[in-house]
Amino acid sequence: MLSRMLPGWLIAPIVLAVLVSNLIFWGLIVFTLGLIKLVLPIQYVGQVLHLAYKGWCLGNRLAIRLACANLKLSINGHLKSDGWYLLIANHQSSLDIVLLTALGQLPAPKFFLKDELKFVPFVGMGAWAMDMPFMKRVSKAKLAKNPKLKGMDVARTKKSCAHFRNHPTTIINFVEGSRFSKAKHQSQQSEYQHLLKPKAGGIAFALEVLGQQFDAMLNASIVYTGNSESILKDFFTGQLTHIAIEIDVMAIAPELIGDYQTDRAFRFSFQQQLNQIWQAKDQQLDVMKKQRSPSFNACMDESTT
């Protein structure tokens, strides 16, 4: 771990170089293979693409190891390496994405993407090549004008997930919709101490589209401990002393799958259940923030229960 050997001003360029070079190297491979896949839809190209994606995740793991003093991961429940999961997590920093891809235990961490991102240079091609599901929603206004559009967004998104079943995957959803900050917390007048209010639409849609495919839902709680208000600043200067992650493996109850957009009764019920999950997560985060366990001795100390 670099913070034990080097001054803070030298850590940032080293860790940043690892992250950027890792992204460029594997990104170019994924983009090139994506072009090949577009022209020659060969089955084995997808397998090689996922190996390249795994290489990117391992590079992120190296960056975390270099910058992080201590990281503790606890998984409560059975997590299969060949399973399909929907992961929900609190969102505090851009580092969350790097961290979740670097854990190693999660099958191919991916994200639901807006359909418009298909047309963003490099990003769209890379995401398409990796079979990341694109989400195209029909607005309430359009649905009111043309009821025939009902269910079309689900059908289109299911079609975009056609290859999703070929590779065990973890779909990541940051339920708060944006990164936590004190200003946002106060603006929302959030009833939670450590969280913004959850946005139910995205996770409800993911469950409606792929609920039967998921083996379970993973409820991840992340806590960073550093010396300043900026997580990224602490990360790049070796001042991020602890990272704690607890992942609860939860069964997906049948009542969590339904038509969130048009079924008012289901929408109310879903919001109530998500609020209960969020209340429990808020209490869990409070406990994690107060804990200083001796098990924080080794970087990337991992345990499964």
Using 50, 70 and 90 to split pLDDT, how confident is the model at 295?
A: very low
Convert the pLDDT of each residue in 69-113 to its tens digit: 588 899 999 999 889 999 999 999 989 989 999 998 899 898 777
pLDDT value for 185: 93
pLDDT value for 294: 39
Convert the pLDDT of each residue in 108-128 to its tens digit: 898 777 767 777 776 677 777
More confident call, 151 vs 116:
116
Using 50, 70 and 90 to split pLDDT, how confident is the model at 213?
A: confident
> In 3-state terms, what secondary structure has residue 186?
helix
pLDDT value for 13: 86
Quote the mean pLDDT of the chain.
82
Q: Judge whether 102 and 63 are in contact, CB under 8 Å.
A: yes
| Spatial distance between the Cα atoms of 72 and 41, rounded to a whole number of angstroms | 41
| Residue keyed to tokens 């923030």 | 289
CA-angle at 60, arms to 2 and 86, nearest 5°: 135
pLDDT value for 100: 93
Fold classification of 69-304 is: Glycerol-3-phosphate (1)-acyltransferase (3.40.1130)
pLDDT value for 9: 64
- Residue 264 per-residue DSSP state: H
pLDDT value for 250: 95
Q: In sequence order, what are the residues at sequence separation of 6 or more whose Cβ sits closer than 8 angstroms to the Cβ of residue 103? A: 61, 73, 109, 245
Convert the pLDDT of each residue in 231-278 to its tens digit: 988 888 888 888 999 999 999 999 999 988 788 999 999 999 999 999
Is the pLDDT confidence value at 67 over 70? yes
- Where do the domains of the chain lie? 69-304
Is the pLDDT confidence value at 3 over 70? no
pLDDT value for 210: 81
Convert the pLDDT of each residue in 7-28 to its tens digit: 666 778 888 999 999 988 998 8
> Residues, the chain, total?
305
Is the pLDDT confidence value at 164 over 70? no
| Residue keyed to tokens 């109850």 | 253
